[in-house]
Amino acid sequence: MGYFITFEGVEGCGKTTQIKLLSEFLLARGMHTVLTREPGGCPIADKIRTILLDAENKALSPLAELMLYAAARAQHVTEVISPALEAGKIVLCDRFCDATLAYQSFGRGIDRGVIDNLNLQACQGATPHLTVLVDCDPRVGLERARQRIEATSGPREERFELEALAFHERVRAGYLRLAADDPERFLIINGADSIEAIFAAISTLVAARIPEALRAVY
C-alpha cells in the first residue's frame, strides 16, 4: 500500500507551487510519486473540471456543482489514485475530499451529512494519510489568483475567484475547523511565508511522515 498526501487551501494560497516542489524533491530522492489534482487528474474528470471552473456557468446550482465534483472524484479515484496506491506509490493530490467540505458545505451551506455520504462513495476507501493545509488570508490569495488568471492565455478558470470575499472567508474557516477536528492528519502551514520557507517546512515535516518502507534506499 502506498501513501496518500493531499494539499488544500483557499485560492492563491500557493499549494500548487508547493506540491510541485515536493514532488520534485521526493522524485530526486528516488521515491515513486504520482502528482495529480482535483477536479481533474484524468481525461474524463478534466472534462468535468472545464464545466466546473468555467465562469460562464453562473447558473450551475450548488447541488449540481456538488455532484459534478463527486463524479470527477469517483473517476479519478478509480483511474488514478487507487491503482497508484495499490502499486505502492506516494500519491500527491492537489485538493481532495476536504475541498468539497470546505467549499460546498462551509462555503455554499450544503448539509455536511450529504457531502460526507457522497465523499464516502466517491473515495471508494481512498483516505488521505496526510493533508497539508496551506493557510492564507483570502484577500492575499485572491489577489495572487487574479494575477495568475490575467497572465494565463488558456480558458479563464475563475468561477470561484469571482465569488465574494465572505465566501472565501467561510472556506478558510472551514478548512481550519476540519484541521482542528483531525490534528493527526492535518499539517497547517503558514501561506504568508516565502515560497522557500514554506517549502523548507513542508519538505522536512512531510518526509518525516512518509513510512520507512516507501522512502528511497540509496
Establish if 95 lies at the interface with ligand TMP (CB under 6 A). Answer: yes
Q: Which three cell numbers stand for residue 209?
A: 511522515
Identify residue 187 by its one-letter amino acid code: L
CB of 212 to ligand TMP, least distance (A): 31
- Cα(9)–Cα(183) distance, integer angstroms: 16
Q: Minimum distance between the CB of residue 75 and ligand TMP, rounded to whole angstroms?
A: 13
Phi, psi (rounded to 5 degrees) for 152: -95, 135
Does residue 18 bind ligand TMP (CB under 6 A)? no
Backbone angles phi and psi of 54, in degrees to 5: -70, 115
Report, in Å, the least distance between residue 208 CB and ligand TMP.
Answer: 26
The helix-helix angle for 15-28 and 195-209 (nearest 10°) equals: 50
Q: Where would I find the H helices in the chain?
A: 15-28, 43-53, 62-76, 82-86, 97-99, 112-123, 138-151, 165-181, 195-209
Nearer to ligand TMP, 2 or 40 (CB): 40
Least Cβ distance, residue 39 to ligand TMP (angstroms): 5
Cα–Cα dist 34/101, whole Å: 24
- Judged by CB under 6 A, the residue of 2, 39, 41, 138 near ligand TMP is 39
Of the candidate residues 14, 38, 131, 168, the single one contacting ligand TMP (CB under 6 A) = 38
Interface with ligand TMP (CB under 6 A), residue from 36, 82, 100, 105 = 100
Biggest CA pair distance of the chain: 54
165-184 footprint of ligand TMP as x/- string (CB under 6 A): --------------------
CB of 82 to ligand TMP, least distance (A): 17
Contact positions toward ligand TMP, by CB under 6 A? 11, 38-39, 53, 69, 95, 99-100, 103-104, 160
